[in-house]
Structure 1
């Protein structure tokens, strides 16, 4: 696409997408004026362009992205999607990424399918008959792999705390992207009858399936099956989902629908965040004014777990207590420009390597006290003083 845009001297082509893997060459400086990226969730390959002003981002809940297309708020001229080859009945699959791609295909004026034998064939909402495509092109190429980074001891401790204290047998899990959700999965080998209903999942789920920990037995929607809308991982994960009826890949407006999430048993939503202030406001998409990721599905699942029909849901956010430079991530005031993704009213559990803070129903001074207890010890005295200055009273558990 990038090469064609340059050769044909195209201009003002808007490229709308969520998180993508690969080089994203259309965001580079030499494509300015030809393409302009518009991210509904910022991947690392687009972060520089967004923060340099060459690309855009849209703050939006992942569950609501399809509405942009269905309501014609964004009119799609061309949906360019990668699909598996047609089966003997003529059906292709969106494979690893059904999410908002299905809504894009439904509403686009033209649909171009890049047919890639390396794309796994998945069951669910991503099945498209070849007759619906206006053009199909060969695109044989290995899928970009997102290999897990080596986890730190801090991340492993956070994963252990969550797995040992907050995940019950029979729970329905949602995990966000990153080392902390992966650390939780790695610590669940002793659990039984877990279910997966999650906007995305990665290689760690395969390990738990092979260990017999994930059965999806108790889920209300698609019992006996893993439910997701996209996957991020390695070839091992792609091979696991390929032609596997144990996995359902569905439209994100279904997967992230709060009333649907809430009907599953013991919904346990596990997501990462960047910064939290002493009242419980959570920044997850930016570092100060620098845009980092996006709203994503964090609030969808935090809320779905909180209002679970069985009253046993656990909305969990987690982060290391300090940055790589030793600065506290629990702060008196959020950095200027930091975006509050999860409000103080949404935050129930916050976990660091120092422990678990439960904030639901707590007033501001109780919240400050609980958060200071899980801050790094080097910062607790300063946070206590800052809390007094902000709240005009001492933080207290009572």
Structure 2
């Protein structure tokens, strides 16, 4: 008989004390039942901090009326946390994802770790299932470890197997694994996706995230063969390519034959694919996302997106002006690691324009996302020194090794035609390039 300390959700929540530091899992790994009930002790505690990353739900404790009691520290913002930030009870933790756990632990240790896991197996182990970006390191540092054990969560392998003796308390759960809605690529996505796919060769090793552009890249890869995966995020599109035989990892120089990831997020097809699948390795985020590890993958291809890029190559990928929108995530990790790899390449993709509201007229107007200088206050997620290829629907600009004049010329060439003349004019007026 396994010795599992099963408690109720309220028994778990009532362990929280004033001034506690709570950490929960990334995305699908968050402790949902615990978080759903946390507001019930609002009148019993004060100054409780919750550290999370890309939360999938807006919980009651996040309501503005509880802002004097609960405070969110976010490694990566979602819409719910953006709202809290505006209310004054959330703050972003600047980070490159591979250092998320180690640097945070150098600053603060968690009182409680709460996350999700699979059902216990016949050997007395549960799997952390959906990820280990920082989860296991936080568990090892926490005073109390609570896991919500759930038969609906897939059993995955790697650095995620936990013996029940390592866990203080379990909550029994039955909710479904959260799913991300499929983003169908539009025509711009498909064009950008094909531009990138044209640079991908048989046997290359890939990292890409989720959204219309990554989905379009994936859709353009079905004529490739022997592709490998070393990625922070394992997506539904990756699972589809693997099931189709496009991805098999046979040419990988590191973890040959294995799909390597640090967290999983997508749809039920993906969750069925990773369940009990020994070809999928869910490893520690400090390892998977460390640039020196990424660089050990020959032919590594990194594919990321940005919100805005200036004419010298600086990428603002996580904020709109000074307003935090998402997070750095692994963009810098993967871009640097891919370029250090033998035959590696890093791609940054974006639409050439966006519809932005004019503050004076209130009307939306088309503006270039390739700009002379970033919106004042914008966070530079990827410095210009680390930018390799930039892709819009108008083509590909290879910036590796180029000087600023060459960068300006190449980036304007892939800007929307309506803005190219003005971009040249401003580049000269601002002395980004020399000459009259």
The interval holding the TM-score normalised by the smaller chain is over 0.9
CA RMSD of aligned residues (A): 1.5
Residue correspondence of structure 1 range 285-300 to structure 2 within 5 A: 285-300=318-333
Q: Which residue, out of 58, 63, 75, partners 1:40?
A: 75
Alpha-carbon displacement from aligned partner over 1:40-94 (angstroms, at most 9, x marks no partner)? 11122312212332211111000001213553x2210000010101100010011
> For residues 259 and 383 of structure 1, what CA distance do their matches in structure 2 show?
37
**Which residue number corresponds to residue 277 of structure 1?**
310
**Which residue number corresponds to residue 347 of structure 1?**
387
**Which residue number corresponds to residue 420 of structure 2?**
380
**Which residue number corresponds to residue 112 of structure 1?**
146
Query: 41-50 or 106-115, which moves further after superposition?
Result: 41-50
Pairwise CA distance, 1:133: 1.1
Residues 232, 324 of structure 1: CA spacing in aligned structure 2 closer, same or farther, 3 A cutoff?
Answer: farther
Equivalent position SS for 2:251: coil
Matched, 1:337 2:377: yes
Pairwise CA distance, 1:34: 2.2
Pairwise CA distance, 1:212: 1.0
**Which residue number corresponds to residue 17 of structure 2?**
none
**Which residue number corresponds to residue 284 of structure 2?**
251
Pairwise CA distance, 1:228: 0.2
Residue correspondence of structure 1 range 1-398 to structure 2 within 5 A: 1-2=34-35, 4-8=37-41, 9=43, 10-68=45-103, 70-71=105-106, 73-164=107-198, 166-308=199-341, 310=342, 312-325=343-356, 326-391=366-431, 393=433
Alpha-carbon displacement from aligned partner over 1:319-355 (angstroms, at most 9, x marks no partner)? 0000134210000111011000101111110000000
Assess if the C-alpha contact under 8 Å between 2:64 and 2:87 holds in 1: no
> For residues 389 and 432 of structure 2, what CA distance do their matches in structure 1 show?
25
Pairwise CA distance, 1:149: 2.0
Equivalent position SS for 2:412: helix
Unpaired runs of 5+ residues, structure 1, are none
> For residues 118 and 279 of structure 2, what CA distance do their matches in structure 1 show?
18
Equivalent position SS for 2:73: strand
Assess if the C-alpha contact under 8 Å between 1:22 and 1:144 holds in 2: no
TM-score (norm. length: structure 2): 0.87
Residues 80, 375 of structure 1: CA spacing in aligned structure 2 closer, same or farther, 3 A cutoff?
Answer: same
Residues 91, 3 of structure 1: CA spacing in aligned structure 2 closer, same or farther, 3 A cutoff?
Answer: closer
> For residues 269 and 359 of structure 1, what CA distance do their matches in structure 2 show?
15
Alpha-carbon displacement from aligned partner over 1:16-39 (angstroms, at most 9, x marks no partner)? 111121224332213212211110
Residues 6, 393 of structure 1: CA spacing in aligned structure 2 closer, same or farther, 3 A cutoff?
Answer: closer
> For residues 230 and 343 of structure 1, what CA distance do their matches in structure 2 show?
25
Equivalent position SS for 1:345: helix
Alpha-carbon displacement from aligned partner over 1:172-224 (angstroms, at most 9, x marks no partner)? 10112322112111110001110000000211011111221101112222210
Residues 2, 30 of structure 1: CA spacing in aligned structure 2 closer, same or farther, 3 A cutoff?
Answer: farther
> For residues 368 and 332 of structure 1, what CA distance do their matches in structure 2 show?
9
Assess if the C-alpha contact under 8 Å between 2:156 and 2:282 holds in 1: yes
TM-score (norm. length: structure 1): 0.95
Assess if the C-alpha contact under 8 Å between 2:225 and 2:246 holds in 1: yes
Residues 28, 196 of structure 1: CA spacing in aligned structure 2 closer, same or farther, 3 A cutoff?
Answer: same
